[in-house]
Amino acid sequence: MARKGNSIIKGLEIQDIITQLNKAYADEWLAYYQYFIEAKVIKGIMKDAAITELTQHAADELRHATMVADRIIQLGGTPLLHPKDWFTHTNCGYDAPNELDVVAILEDAIKGEQCAISIYSKLAEMTRDKDIVTYDIVSQILADEVEHEEDLQALHDDITEFISHIKQSM
């Protein structure tokens, strides 16, 4: 644990930051798995484009989990050590894909990104001007989550518009 580095944290309990980061850590692992498995089971029109997005987002979520775990350790905490703990600490939860078509998968993924945006916005607000290191990390992750939502929404809109045009021409 960094003693001088942690001394720059003002107006926050370090344990509160660790608790919130562990929740975010659980979310990142569950998001990673959701993207990973959705990329494997997805079906339907333009699935290759969706697979590309889901696979990239899975890699990003794993990178986010690493960033969050590293910060937890810097603060003197321990990242959640058992996958079962992800389900009891998560903010956003995990919804196994029930419908495997592209549109349903993308809708689930968009919902997950919107939850992540909400969580990281709260973490950024919590740490702004109080813990610059954590603030910087969560701001970077927040920017990625916003980009993910935009990418997924654009792909969803393209696919639904294409399907609509096909139905109209029939």
Domain assignment present for residue 107? The answer is: yes
pLDDT of the residue at 141 = 98
Domain assignment present for residue 97? The answer is: yes
Find the CATH number of the domain harbouring 97: 1.20.1260.10
Domain assignment present for residue 43? The answer is: yes
pLDDT of the residue at 94 = 95
Give the range of the structural domain holding residue 81, as residue numbers without chain letter. 13-168
Domain assignment present for residue 154? The answer is: yes
CB 68 within 8 A of CB 127: no
pLDDT tens for each residue of 14-59: 999 999 999 999 999 999 999 999 999 999 999 999 999 999 999 9
On whether the pTM is more than 0.75, the answer is yes
* Total domains in the fold of the chain: 1
- The average pLDDT across 111-123 equals 98
CB 70 within 8 A of CB 1: no
What are the structure tokens assigned to 89, written together? 């600490």
pLDDT tens for each residue of 120-165: 999 999 999 999 999 999 999 999 999 999 999 999 999 999 999 9
Domain assignment present for residue 142? The answer is: yes
Domain assignment present for residue 123? The answer is: yes
What are the structure tokens assigned to 84, written together? 């079962």
Domain assignment present for residue 7? The answer is: no
Query: Count of residues for the chain?
Result: 170
Domain assignment present for residue 41? The answer is: yes
